[in-house]
């Protein structure tokens, strides 16, 4: 697969000295769906805004389809559709005009059949003559997507596309993204929902404090993240884990009151039932058990710690 976006040594220091991007190196492959996953304030919007030419980088270089985003701005930008995080758009324009105008901005000839198809795909066809100000929040977001697609971009950026949207729009959006991929469009979406990255992406990049701390195929990452822990709270403290329980690699808490079993939620090589039976067989009584799964927050923390 060839590289669609090449980002090398990209940095951003905002006025006032805040370092929003440490040197970022990242290649996006043509035709992939790439999820940039990170907590609020990590630098996702900053990164996208630089690639789309809305914010100037402090250092480094970006090419889109081989075009440098500074030197060959127009060629690079023409390849890109951007669905911004914030819902800002004209108020008095009609839906149809707004989308047609967006296409014209990129110098593309009018194509009413294409605009119609985009509006139908996004369930906006019935609203085509409505003024934008009369649309609901979800409809406005659909409109932003329609505008971003109006000029047939080869790369689509979706910045937090499903934050605060209803289930129906989320489903439509995912379907739309899959359809775009089938047409060979490269899609980059940012999110702080791991489920979204899991559902959609071929590859996932994790960004934290302006640094890309990991880029991995989704399948590999999900395997790493799909870890659960079972904690068994004992009746009596245990001085040591009996050898008969060695296969579970249990961790004993310092006070001996709790045993913790870490397992892969996807695979069931050693079931929880087997463990509890083995505890009983070893004469170990417990008063409570509970399971926990790493939250995204935990995952970030552990990734950052691994990195340090």
Ligand X SMILES: Nc1ncnc2c1ncn2[C@@H]1O[C@H](COP(=O)(O)OP(=O)(O)O)[C@@H](O)[C@H]1O
Cα 3 to Cα 31, 63, 155: the distances in Å are 9, 10, 12
What CA–CA distance (Å, rounded) separates 156 from 67?
Answer: 16
| Of 2 and 56, CB closest to ligand X | 56
Among 5, 44, 127, 200, binds ligand X (CB under 6 A): 44
Q: Is 57 in the site for ligand X (CB under 6 A)?
A: no
Among 9, 41, 104, 237, binds ligand X (CB under 6 A): 41
Min CB(289)–ligand X separation in Å: 37
For residue 217, the cross-strand partners are 203
Among 31, 33, 45, 230, binds ligand X (CB under 6 A): 45
| Of 11 and 257, CB closest to ligand X | 11
Q: Find which of ligand X, Mg ion, none residue 43 binds, CB within 5 to 8 Å per kind.
A: ligand X
Q: Is 92 in the site for ligand X (CB under 6 A)?
A: no
Give the x/- contact pattern for Mg ion in 65-104, rule: CB under 5 A. --------------------x-------------------
Q: Are 24 and 10 in contact (CB under 8 A)?
A: yes
Q: Is 45 in the site for Mg ion (CB under 5 A)?
A: yes
Stretch that binds ligand X, among 34-42, 175-183, 234-242, 286-294 (CB under 6 A): 34-42
What CA–CA distance (Å, rounded) separates 7 from 9?
Answer: 7
Six-digit token string for 15 = 């006025």
Min CB(161)–Mg ion separation in Å: 11
- Helix (H), strand (E), coil (C) string for 71-110: CCHHHHHHCEEEECCCCCCCCCCEHHHHHHHHHHHCCCCC
CB atoms within 10 A of CB 179: 11
Q: Find which of ligand X, Mg ion, none residue 101 binds, CB within 5 to 8 Å per kind.
A: none
Min CB(39)–ligand X separation in Å: 7
Min CB(14)–ligand X separation in Å: 3
| Of 16 and 283, CB closest to ligand X | 16
| Of 189 and 259, CB closest to Mg ion | 189
Pick the closest to residue 153 from 36, 55, 64, 57 (CA basis).
64
Which stretches within the chain are classed as H helix?
44-51, 73-78, 95-105, 112-121, 137-149, 167-182, 194-200, 218-225, 272-281, 296-307
Q: Are 250 and 260 in contact (CB under 8 A)?
A: yes
Among 31, 38, 65, 81, binds ligand X (CB under 6 A): 38
Residues with Cβ within 8 Å of 294's Cβ and at least 6 positions away in sequence, in order, are 225, 227, 228, 302
Query: Which residues, 4 to 33, sit near ligand X by CB under 6 A?
Result: 14, 16, 18, 20
| Of 18 and 92, CB closest to ligand X | 18
Residues forming the site for ligand X (CB under 6 A): 14, 16, 18, 20, 38, 40-46
């Amino acid at each position: 697969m060839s590289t669609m976006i090449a980002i090398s040594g990209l940095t951003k220091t905002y006025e006032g000295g805040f370092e929003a991007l440490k040197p970022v190196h990242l290649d996006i492959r043509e035709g992939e769906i790439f999820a940039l996953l990170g907590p609020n304030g990590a630098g996702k919007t900053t990164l996208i805004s630089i690639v789309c030419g809305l914010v100037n980088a402090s250092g480094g270089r970006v090419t889109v389809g081989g075009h440098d985003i500074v030197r060959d701005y127009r060629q690079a930008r023409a390849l890109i559709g951007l669905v911004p995080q914030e819902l800002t758009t004209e108020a008095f324009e009609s839906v149809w005009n707004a989308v047609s105008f967006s296409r014209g901005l990129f110098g593309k000839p009018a194509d009413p059949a294409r605009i119609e198809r985009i509006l139908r795909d996004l369930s906006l066809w019935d609203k085509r003559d409505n003024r934008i100000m009369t649309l609901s929040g979800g409809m406005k977001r659909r409109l932003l997507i329609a505008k971003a697609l109006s000029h047939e971009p080869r790369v689509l950026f979706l910045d937090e596309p499903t934050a605060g949207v209803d289930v129906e729009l989320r489903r439509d959006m995912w379907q739309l993204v899959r359809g775009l991929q089938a047409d060979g469009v490269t899609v980059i979406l940012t999110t702080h929902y791991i489920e979204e990255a899991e559902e959609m992406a071929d590859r996932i990049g994790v960004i934290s404090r302006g640094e890309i701390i990991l880029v991995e195929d989704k399948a590999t990452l999900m395997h790493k993240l799909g870890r659960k822990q079972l904690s068994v709270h004992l009746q009596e403290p245990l001085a040591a884990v009996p050898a008969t329980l060695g296969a579970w690699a249990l961790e004993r808490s310092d006070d001996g009151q709790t045993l913790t079993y870490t397992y892969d939620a996807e695979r069931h090589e050693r079931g929880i039932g087997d463990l509890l039976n083995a505890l009983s067989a070893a004469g170990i009584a417990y008063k409570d058990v509970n399971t926990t799964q790493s939250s995204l927050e935990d995952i970030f923390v552990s990734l950052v710690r691994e990195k340090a």
